[in-house]
Structure 1
Amino acid sequence: MLYGRGIEQERIHRMLVRAGDGASCALVIRGEAGMGKTALLEYATGVAGPGRVLRTVGIESEMELAFGGLHQLLWPVAGHLEGLPGPQAAVLNAAFGVSGEAVRDRFGLGTAVLAMLARAAAGGPLLVLVDDSQWLDRASLDALVFAARRLHAEGVVMLFAVRDGVPGGQIEGVPQLLLQGLDPAAVDALLTDRVVALSPYARERIVEQAQGNPLALLELPAALTAEQRGGRLNPVTLPAGLASPSSRIQEAFQEQIRRLPAATRAMLLVAAADDCGDLDLVLRASARFGATLEDLEPAEDATLVLLSEHTLSFRHPLIRSATYQDAALTRRLAAHRALAEALRGDVGVGQHADRRAWHLAAATTGADEAVAAEMVGVAERAGGRQGTASASAAYERAAQLTSDSAGRAQLLAAAAITSAEAGQFDRTAALTDRVNALALDPRMLADLARVRAIVELDRGSPGRAARILLECADRIGRCADLAPVLTEAVQTAQSSGDGPLLAEVAARLPDSPQYALARAMAGPLATAGAATEPTRAGDGDADGADGADGDGFAERILAGVHGQLFADHRTALDTAVACVRDCRTQDVVGWLHTSLHLLAEAQLSLGRYEEAHAAATEGLAIAEQFGRRHRETYLRATLATLAAVRGEEERCAALGGAALEYADAHDIGLAAAHAHRALGLIDLGSGDAGSALTRLEAARSRVGHPALTAFLLPDLVEAAVRAGRPERAAEPVVLLTRWAGAARQPAAAALAARCRALTGPDEEVEERFTAALGLHDAGPAAQPFERARTELLFGEWLRRERRRTDARAHLRRALEAFDGLGARSWAARARTELRAGGETLETGGRPDELLGRLSPQEREVVRLAATGATNRQIATQLFLSPRTVGHHLYRAFPKLGITTRNDLPSILDRER
């Protein structure tokens, strides 16, 4: 029976009832130790019924064993592996250590977990419980949270129990339930029903000390003697101060443990030192202390441990903690040595070898090169299975065990690099502070600098990240390949929007062909478009992932950004498509969100709005999953720009505002410029030129390099002219013309010609608009939105010149293009001009606005289904379950007015 948790129980009950109807949901139950998190999980188990529950428990001693928690959870339903697609089955077998292969694709693993849960729920609602999530190995927790965020219509309920106040286990993006202390009525009922008689004085002290913590209310009285419970002696075992209930509970457990026989305490210590639940291992290790199975009886009688034929578990995690912490250091070391010896015969390829190595490390107090070497092996195995958090911990322990100062620096650097790959940026920063950089070879020094820059980029500012890279370049000089360091310095300096900093980076670039592209990106505008042939989209080393690898991707992304900045959108698109493809096929997750951002920007420039929305949405989900806040900011700005083009004012304001908030706080000048531009574009489309001009000038102020401002100058010129402030367009037109000359692309020349038409003398306007339209049509990649805007502006000018027939021809073409693109506010402007020119237009909705009725997730599912992809294929690409895909299609068909998948291609064709 639970006391005082009626509201929480009702919430869980409703979740399970909805699961019976096919809905899925997840919940994180938070609270300090003893608040009843595990009791609520047990309540959920009772409601779900037998055979419908999967459970895993985080174990502190196994935190560094990659995928241990996932193995415990899914092994009971391993039979469903055979029904999964080959790649998903393979990645799960690798995570479980069955195949001996490496787990390279974390997103593939998360999708496989989601698919596995969906299959396990096929026979009815499924309850998934993750207790003590703060102690689950990070690789398992990441995969499970990934799945939890994408639950929709599988009939799965996931409950995570997380202890507050303990590092690790932070779960974002999932609803949270915080357990508070029990109210006085519940406290009174619990003590009356469950606790032996207490004197009024003892009862008052227990209530005061427990602070509403249910476990404390039960365990603190158990630690008292009969005399203390009766009030004949002060309950001196209760601390006088108001320390946390967790510490008081632990002290109560320690009082119970100290009363046990010595042999029993020895066995409990061995179990606490490993806590894998393997009774046979505990018995083998405890035999070295002369203890036997019978010595566990007193602990079992006191309900401190629970025993079965093969397992031993502590009734509460704090009992294990109390056992371990109350033992002297020499006894703890002896327990770990005994476990290592007991595991010697079990060592093979897999987690037994890793557990033995960790016990050896725990039993070692000084330097030991042999144990250090074993820990390096643990790190390499963990890294190979994408257990990067585990690998980092193993490298750090190896560093502590070696007496070689140079080796220690290399190992700490490796720990920092792998912790960055795991997204543990706070830990990365702490580790880098401990590295003696003087002891690193140039390659490791460069890798470490790039990791420090990644951390700074996501937690601090791109300007400081660029400084880190420049300092590294100055230190290693010409004794190493500087290209990766300086390439990233160019990109981070660009992100800052700091013109002088970018010039400083440019001054560091050697005058050699290897750096031609970087010089083109960082140098003066006069030479910026004159880069040598960019790196081909399919070239480059694709070994990299997060952290310091992926040199080939950095160069390729730089080439794509160069194309985007200088209006070579076809090169940008081809490069981005190849990078995204290679990220997927080679499991290079660390570059996927950046590649998707480049892809979305190129597709946006080319008017492929549905595809751009899909790429940006996926990129944002990946960036959020791994805490890449810097890239999140850019992707939100991209999505805000898409919303602006479509006239979605509320969505644009929300996305642009969120991007601005983070960009302003972290001095990400270029991202802030993109967000301001999106907000200015929505104003410009709706006809509020004054507000648009303010926004666009704010955008321009955030970047100090002409190439970085070119993307917003056409909007700024139009806003200034329409707002009646043509003088504020003069300099932007000059800069735009220079940029077009450097870019050497018809698309750039078209924009410059359009803006010169807006600001030039009347006798040259028609010639310049006509030239702009010709240039729009001359390029290798059409930009339908920009061409339509030129038609609109030309038509508006012709109407003012009273050439209505000529004006209507241009305005009709503009309206047709805007309607095809779904650019509602811009289409409204064209309609207004046509009506003002005497044309009668039909009112009402358009058939090609059908996709606007769908949610963003439904649109992505429909878009892929229209290509002929199966539900399973769609689920794999969008990181959903097949049942969720089917649910989205079920909801989308009525909105689109269709009944079968065969009708989807025609809907998409009309939208284009």
Structure 2
Amino acid sequence: MQGRSAERERIERLLDGARQGTSGVLLVHGEAGIGKTALLDHAAARAEGWRVLRVEGIESEMELAFGGLHQLFLPVLPLVDTLPPPQAEAVRAVFGLSGDGVRDRFTVGLAVLTLLSEAAADGPLLCLVDDAQWLDQPSVDMLTFAARRLRAEGVVMLFAVRDGAPGAAVKGLPQLLVEGLDRAAAAELLPGLPPYVADRVMAEARGNPLALIELSAALTPAQRAGQLGPLALPEAAAGLPSRIQDGFREQIRRLPEAARLVLLVAAADDTGDLTTVLRAAAALGAAVEDLEPAERAGFLLLSGAVVRFRHPLVRYAAYQGAPLARRIAAHRALAEVLGADGQAHRRAWHLAAASTGPDDLVAEELERVAEWAGSRQGMASASAAYERAARLTADPLLRARRLVLAAQRAADAGQDERCGALAGQVTVPLADPGVTASLARARAVVELGYRRPETAARILLDGAEATGAGRPDMVASLLTDAVHAAWSAGSAALIGEVAARAPGLPVLAVPARLFPGDVSGAPAVTGGPDGPRAPDVPGTPGACDVPGALDALGTLSALVAGGRATEAGLMDRLMTGIYGQLAGDHAAAREAATAAVAHCREQGVGGWLPTTLHLLARTELALGRLDEASAHATEGLQLAEYYDLAHRAAHLRATLAMLAGLRGDEEQGNALAGEALAYTRPRGVGRGTADARWALGLLELGLGRAGAALEHLESARAEGDHPLLALPLLADLVEAAGRAGRPERAAEPARLLGEWAAALGQPALLAVASRCQALTGPDGTAEEHFTAALTLHEGGSDYERARTALLYGEWLRRLRRQIDAREQLRGALESFDRLGARPWAARARAELAAAGGETGLTAREDGPISLLSPQEREVVRLAAAGASNREIAAQLFLSPRTVGHHLYRAFPKLGISSRTELASLLAP
């Protein structure tokens, strides 16, 4: 550990923290041979008396789903029985201990987190993941999922990754870059060499410890004595990794032929099982005695029945340095041994490695491996198996089908770029309509996830048209996905076009009636801003079958609630919630969103969880449940960022920006909205752009900058091609226009809001429409509209009711009706304080003071609940509802110990000593 004092200190700080019960994570990265493994070994040596779990990635085992996870937890496998039943079942499935499939990788991730916590129950735990770039991606995903949620378990996780190496991606962890040694430290690793020779070796190694050791070990006696020829260590050296490899290859070439053969078999093997290696080597003519030279040279480390290479580059040199024919023979021998042991998935990969051309039998075996991996949520491994099977397939149609399956599984694994590359290799048109439909969905995933949702919808529409006659059973799911993509694009015209393809389909019946025919363009105004309009002007309720749409929504809601929706049940729930929001029925929308989130959590549709959490947060925001909306949007964003779901992350940032605006957090609101817009605008994500603009407008309106608010809100409205899409923000636009002294820009939005509210008949919409009528109509009718709005608000959003009371109170004060004004303003202030809507509370407080009222109310931000972090607040909320620590952990993807830690920190802040006091504290 020469020259590594800073790196050692950082690791030791993590170990010291774990001794005090705090968890820590670190990703150690650098070039090959730089000393990452040595740092992990140092950590293991310092963790005296700890439980240590260790796994080393093996390049040839990268496609074996959850193989790394199994190797890591093998010493503590009995702890699986202590997990909650769903978690235990998921672990047994991914480890192949049961025949069950894995429905939800989030459950696997939570099980890994709980396993780590249980393994640390009796003392600190050190978890070492070496060469993580060569671990299978599902294992990396689950380990990093758990690592990011460690808090108070006394666990230290260290990951080591080689920079620049292709392989598994390790994301979102604190990092430590390990760089080359300085000259003094490097010289310590070259004892006994003449200065001239040491200088030449140090120049070649460039501070890399492994290169220093291996290049010096590869010197001949004459070279060590100083007899260096001009070509021994050339001035224009090759890249460092290849120089290290040359050193290893030279040392391996010095071994007897039989020893090199055993070394090759061990390098090709992915089990580390000594018995397997020896049986395969015996089939090629080698014996156990032939291990001795390789072991004596330090290439192999033998421990009981396990064989390990002392460094992955030794494995690589042993494998790549062997002739192709011998490598093929080694894989065939291993396939034979593993097949006899019933390890069909490993056998298939070795047969594939031994194949030099198309082989239908091997391809069929690999397809079965892909199905096995997919059933265990090892989507990256399933994709790799389908892709390799495709490469071995001679029939063009079958090859295309396997490439499409590889693309779909890549998308499921969050590898959208690879999904697009695989889909791009499929030659179209295809004779099989089912494969055509699957290809369309794979291509649409990439478009919706990272590019343009409108293009995704078009791809799905074309796929539905091409599929229709041959596979009518697949048309409904294609069109359902298409209408969801069109909704994201914010195009009513496109939504209507999709719905027109199958207006009788329950999930399309609502938009077919709301967006019929020509919905583009702003409606013409006849007879001036307040004049009469034709009932069939596009964009007005008269141009739509609103009663039919509401009936269709009721039918769809009943189908979904009764479990009689289409096979795409989750998408039906999702669209039901979206349509409920569109119609202003936020309570029904929240019910559908809650069911969709529960479906994801319970039925294993984890990839859609951020999307459903986003919908739930939006419905809670509309209902004025700001704390719940914030908690769910935050959870959704964390999941979306972790799995690189950039499209959904942008939507969630826009929602969180809106919440920041309501609370007056200008810096956070601008930052979140800016990030969202940077993604949505260039990709035509109309809904995301509109929401981010709305958030900025709401922020400016709350801070009293009405002119800037009006510009943002009008930009948000312009993102949609139909008034119905902008309906939720029209009330804010009307208020901004009035406060900015531009009443002419409020007239049309107020009228459209009134027309649609009357047609849809929802109290929430009718309330804000009445408020807008009070703002834009004559003073003689204003009070009637304000009081009607307050009545309609009963049982609805406290935030919207407070907004109406504030505006009513301001109007009353202007008429010098101070006593009446104080009543309204005091109620508004109390609500805003309780909700944490600081800028609105400040405005109400100022108006109340101007009306001669007492403003010494306790602001919500000074209350005990506000002292909690968002995570603590959500834990407390669930605990108050009676959930146990394990149940809370399962919902929030935390370990039970971290939940306990959050409660331990929250109780003193709340001034309580037990969870039994929480319910009364949090009662409304």
From 263, 270, 283, the counterpart of 1:268: 263
SS of 1:191's equivalent in the other structure is coil
Distance in 2, Cα, partners of 1:418 & 1:99: 22
From 453, 456, 459, the counterpart of 1:468: 459
Counterpart residue number, 1:519: 512
> In the TM superposition, what are the counterparts of 1:663-812 in structure 2 within 5 Å?
663-777=680-794, 782-812=796-826
Q: Closer, same or farther in 2 for the Cα pair 1:65/1:82, shift >3 Å?
A: same
> In the TM superposition, what are the counterparts of 1:858-873 in structure 2 within 5 Å?
858-873=872-887
Distance in 2, Cα, partners of 1:610 & 1:857: 11
Counterpart residue number, 2:27: 28
Counterpart residue number, 2:193: 197
Counterpart residue number, 2:154: 155
Distance in 1, Cα, partners of 2:465 & 2:673: 38
Equivalent pair of 1:391/1:418 in contact (CA under 8 Å) = yes
1:490 is matched by which residue type in structure 2? Answer: V
455-464 or 30-39, larger mean C-alpha shift:
455-464
Equivalent pair of 2:833/2:859 in contact (CA under 8 Å) = no
355-364 or 817-826, larger mean C-alpha shift:
817-826
Counterpart residue number, 1:429: 420
Equivalent pair of 2:506/2:552 in contact (CA under 8 Å) = no
> In the TM superposition, what are the counterparts of 1:550-569 in structure 2 within 5 Å?
551-569=568-586
Distance in 1, Cα, partners of 2:230 & 2:515: 73
Q: Closer, same or farther in 2 for the Cα pair 1:514/1:695, shift >3 Å?
A: closer
Distance in 1, Cα, partners of 2:160 & 2:87: 27
Distance in 2, Cα, partners of 1:112 & 1:867: 24
Q: Closer, same or farther in 2 for the Cα pair 1:81/1:701, shift >3 Å?
A: same
From 611, 633, 652, the counterpart of 2:669: 652
**How far is the alpha carbon of 1:270 from its aligned partner?**
0.9
Q: Closer, same or farther in 2 for the Cα pair 1:813/1:139, shift >3 Å?
A: same
Counterpart residue number, 2:535: none
> In the TM superposition, what are the counterparts of 1:51-70 in structure 2 within 5 Å?
51-70=50-69
SS of 1:171's equivalent in the other structure is coil
Equivalent pair of 1:395/1:415 in contact (CA under 8 Å) = yes
> In the TM superposition, what are the counterparts of 1:361-372 in structure 2 within 5 Å?
361-372=352-363
Counterpart residue number, 2:533: none
Equivalent pair of 1:30/1:164 in contact (CA under 8 Å) = yes
Distance in 2, Cα, partners of 1:279 & 1:590: 39
Equivalent pair of 1:416/1:428 in contact (CA under 8 Å) = yes
1:730 is matched by which residue type in structure 2? Answer: A
Distance in 2, Cα, partners of 1:410 & 1:91: 29
1:484 is matched by which residue type in structure 2? Answer: S
Q: Closer, same or farther in 2 for the Cα pair 1:456/1:807, shift >3 Å?
A: same
Counterpart residue number, 1:900: 914
**How far is the alpha carbon of 1:176 from its aligned partner?**
1.0
Q: Closer, same or farther in 2 for the Cα pair 1:521/1:483, shift >3 Å?
A: farther
Equivalent pair of 1:538/1:578 in contact (CA under 8 Å) = no
Counterpart residue number, 2:386: 395
1:41 is matched by which residue type in structure 2? Answer: L
> In the TM superposition, what are the counterparts of 1:630-645 in structure 2 within 5 Å?
630-645=647-662
402-411 or 515-524, larger mean C-alpha shift:
515-524
Q: Closer, same or farther in 2 for the Cα pair 1:22/1:516, shift >3 Å?
A: same
**How far is the alpha carbon of 1:789 from its aligned partner?**
1.0
Deviations 1:549-605 (A, max 9, x none): 962222221121011122111221111121122222212212222111111111111
From 480, 486, 506, the counterpart of 1:487: 480
In the superposition, the TM-score normalised over structure 1's length comes to 0.94
Q: Does 1:605 align with 2:622?
A: yes
SS of 1:782's equivalent in the other structure is coil
Equivalent pair of 2:507/2:572 in contact (CA under 8 Å) = no
Give unpaired runs (5+ residues) of structure 2: 520-538
Deviations 1:824-845 (A, max 9, x none): 3222222221211111232544
Counterpart residue number, 2:590: 573
**How far is the alpha carbon of 1:783 from its aligned partner?**
2.0
From 873, 888, 895, the counterpart of 1:881: 895
SS of 2:644's equivalent in the other structure is coil
1:357 is matched by which residue type in structure 2? Answer: A
What is the CA RMSD across the aligned residues, in angstroms?
A: 2.3
11-20 or 211-220, larger mean C-alpha shift:
211-220
SS of 1:814's equivalent in the other structure is helix
Q: Closer, same or farther in 2 for the Cα pair 1:618/1:522, shift >3 Å?
A: farther
Q: Closer, same or farther in 2 for the Cα pair 1:321/1:50, shift >3 Å?
A: farther
Counterpart residue number, 2:275: 280
Distance in 2, Cα, partners of 1:20 & 1:520: 64
Counterpart residue number, 1:178: 177
Counterpart residue number, 1:168: 167
1:129 is matched by which residue type in structure 2? Answer: L
From 216, 226, 229, the counterpart of 2:224: 229
**How far is the alpha carbon of 1:104 from its aligned partner?**
1.6
**How far is the alpha carbon of 1:228 from its aligned partner?**
2.8
Distance in 2, Cα, partners of 1:540 & 1:339: 53
Q: Does 1:250 align with 2:267?
A: no
SS of 1:130's equivalent in the other structure is strand
**How far is the alpha carbon of 1:148 from its aligned partner?**
0.2
Distance in 2, Cα, partners of 1:211 & 1:743: 73
Deviations 1:106-142 (A, max 9, x none): 1111111111111111222111000011111111111
Distance in 2, Cα, partners of 1:398 & 1:381: 14
574-583 or 149-158, larger mean C-alpha shift:
574-583
Equivalent pair of 1:409/1:440 in contact (CA under 8 Å) = no
2:598 is matched by which residue type in structure 1? Answer: R
> In the TM superposition, what are the counterparts of 1:380-419 in structure 2 within 5 Å?
380-419=371-410
Q: How many residues align?
A: 894
Equivalent pair of 2:476/2:505 in contact (CA under 8 Å) = no
2:265 is matched by which residue type in structure 1? Answer: V
Distance in 1, Cα, partners of 2:745 & 2:325: 78
Equivalent pair of 2:573/2:595 in contact (CA under 8 Å) = no
From 638, 645, 656, the counterpart of 1:628: 645
Distance in 2, Cα, partners of 1:687 & 1:552: 45
Q: Closer, same or farther in 2 for the Cα pair 1:537/1:163, shift >3 Å?
A: farther
Equivalent pair of 1:720/1:729 in contact (CA under 8 Å) = yes
Equivalent pair of 1:491/1:558 in contact (CA under 8 Å) = yes
Counterpart residue number, 2:833: 819
In the superposition, the TM-score normalised over structure 2's length comes to 0.93
Equivalent pair of 1:376/1:394 in contact (CA under 8 Å) = yes
Counterpart residue number, 1:496: 489
**How far is the alpha carbon of 1:160 from its aligned partner?**
0.4
Distance in 1, Cα, partners of 2:811 & 2:908: 43
Counterpart residue number, 1:533: 552
2:249 is matched by which residue type in structure 1? Answer: Q
Distance in 2, Cα, partners of 1:698 & 1:246: 54
Q: Closer, same or farther in 2 for the Cα pair 1:326/1:132, shift >3 Å?
A: same
Equivalent pair of 2:860/2:866 in contact (CA under 8 Å) = no
Deviations 1:452-509 (A, max 9, x none): 2122222222233223223323433454342322222222223223465556545655
**How far is the alpha carbon of 1:296 from its aligned partner?**
1.8
Counterpart residue number, 1:300: 295
Counterpart residue number, 1:588: 605
287-296 or 534-543, larger mean C-alpha shift:
534-543
1:142 is matched by which residue type in structure 2? Answer: D
Equivalent pair of 1:496/1:669 in contact (CA under 8 Å) = yes
Q: Closer, same or farther in 2 for the Cα pair 1:45/1:694, shift >3 Å?
A: same
624-633 or 53-62, larger mean C-alpha shift:
624-633
1:98 is matched by which residue type in structure 2? Answer: L
Q: Closer, same or farther in 2 for the Cα pair 1:691/1:42, shift >3 Å?
A: same
**How far is the alpha carbon of 1:847 from its aligned partner?**
8.7
**How far is the alpha carbon of 1:37 from its aligned partner?**
0.6
Distance in 1, Cα, partners of 2:41 & 2:244: 21
SS of 2:863's equivalent in the other structure is helix
Give unpaired runs (5+ residues) of structure 1: none
Distance in 1, Cα, partners of 2:167 & 2:344: 25
Distance in 2, Cα, partners of 1:634 & 1:166: 33
Equivalent pair of 2:767/2:792 in contact (CA under 8 Å) = yes
